[in-house]
Amino acid sequence: MLEQSEDKLENRTENSSNGSVQSIDRALDLLECLARSPNWMGISELSNATGQPVGTVHRLLMTLMAREYVTRDSRTRRYALGPAFRLLAGTALRTPNWSEIAAPHLRELVEISGETANLAVIERDRAVYVAQAQPVRMVRMFT
């Protein structure tokens, strides 16, 4: 399983010609690799898994450790996700409930227009509908 994700990491880093910042791509590759691993990982393992040079992995890990996104076991010299990463990951639970926030506004739009009102958010390259309000009476079409 880790092998398949390794190929993805290498290809994504090498093929990132979309204006991305290489050092951020590389740091995220390390974090994703650590997140997928059931065990603590050494620098060489991370280097092999991500296709990054050992020196680059070391420098990125030092930065991630300073910010507590990664932690190091000084006895084994292996790395795992740190408390800042877990804190960041936990923020997903505190994101606003857009459906709840939008509901009164959507109802107002329905009252004004007499039509169905939708709220969509952009995720990657597509719209995802997160809320909808429908009019009390349906519009009928006679042909």
| pLDDT, tens digit (0-9, with 9 covering 90-100), for 55-113 | 999 999 999 999 999 999 999 999 999 999 888 887 665 667 888 889 999 999 999 99
Residue 80 domain flag: yes
Q: What is the DSSP letter of 41?
A: B
Residue 126 domain flag: yes
Residue 52 domain flag: yes
CATH of the domain at 79: 1.10.10.10
Residue 34 domain flag: yes
Q: How confident is the model at residue 140 (pLDDT cuts 50, 70, 90)?
A: low
Give dist(CA 108, CA 86) in Å, integer: 39
Give dist(CA 131, CA 121) in Å, integer: 10
Residue 143 has a pLDDT of 61
Same domain, yes or no, for 63 and 123? Answer: no
How are beta strands 70-73 and 78-81 bridged, if at all? Answer: antiparallel
DSSP states along 5-33 = HHHHHHHHHHT--SS--HHHHHHHHHHHH
CA dist 116 to 101, 105, 132, Å?
A: 17, 12, 7
Residue 5 has a pLDDT of 47
Same domain, yes or no, for 75 and 112? Answer: no
Residue 89 has a pLDDT of 80
Q: Which domain holds residue 114?
A: 96-133
Same domain, yes or no, for 80 and 111? Answer: no
DSSP states along 95-117 = S--HHHHHHHHHHHHHHHHSS-E
Same domain, yes or no, for 43 and 60? Answer: yes
Bigger pLDDT: 28 or 8?
28
Residue 11 domain flag: yes
Judge contact between 113 and 133, C-beta under 8 A. no
Structural domains in the chain (count): 2
Q: What is the mean pLDDT of the chain?
A: 84
Judge contact between 41 and 54, C-beta under 8 A. no
Residue 41 has a pLDDT of 96
